[in-house]
Chain A
């Protein structure tokens, strides 16, 4: 069965360190998204991609970057982790032309100390 996976599921890091969260989907979807989930804020879009070599900034992109070198993967990098980036991060994907039905991964809980 097709799926979307995230790793690691839990991560503790120190302020100032670079952190990369992995996202891998086997749906063969063109669209991929990264969100962060914080209480009271719902899901906020960080970055998104509509295909290989395409990346776009979302609502809360400062301090984050992504790259898309193949269809399956969209890693999220925190260049210099800050305590404000402590959150649960979700990756999602959707088929081209059907962007509204997004399939979410299980999430990564990141703690920055």
Chain B
């Protein structure tokens, strides 16, 4: 029930294409869903986050789509660039349970020029 399942494990996209990473969860108590981006040799950094009271959140080329009934959410990277090549982690949290994040398994994205 505490798991967050992420797919695909790896993804190769051409420059200018759309990258899509999917996550699914079971625990309906989760009420905060962030995405973290990690470049090689660095720690993860918060990219974008959403709460279940909205179905979509967009920040620049990055969009989270949220389907509460299906217990799924996804990250879309529009116009993907080589600089977006990184590992992406989805996560889930119960906001009243301060600070604890359950992370997905990670997706390694490679954007080819």
Chain A residues within 8 Å of chain B by Cβ, number: 28
Contact: B95 with A100, CB < 8 Å?
Answer: yes
The total of interchain contacts (Cβ-Cβ below 8 angstroms) comes to: 66
Contact: B49 with A42, CB < 8 Å?
Answer: no
How far apart sit A100 and B99, CA to CA, in the bound complex (Å)?
A: 5
Contacts of B71 in A (CB 8 A): none
Q: Which of A4, A40, A42 contacts B103 (CB 8 A)?
A: A42
Contact: A48 with B99, CB < 8 Å?
Answer: yes
**Which A residues fall within an 8 A CB radius of B?**
4, 31, 33, 35, 40-45, 48, 50, 58-59, 90, 92, 94, 96-97, 99-107
**Which B residues fall within an 8 A CB radius of A?**
2, 6, 9, 32, 34, 41-46, 49, 89, 93, 95, 97-106
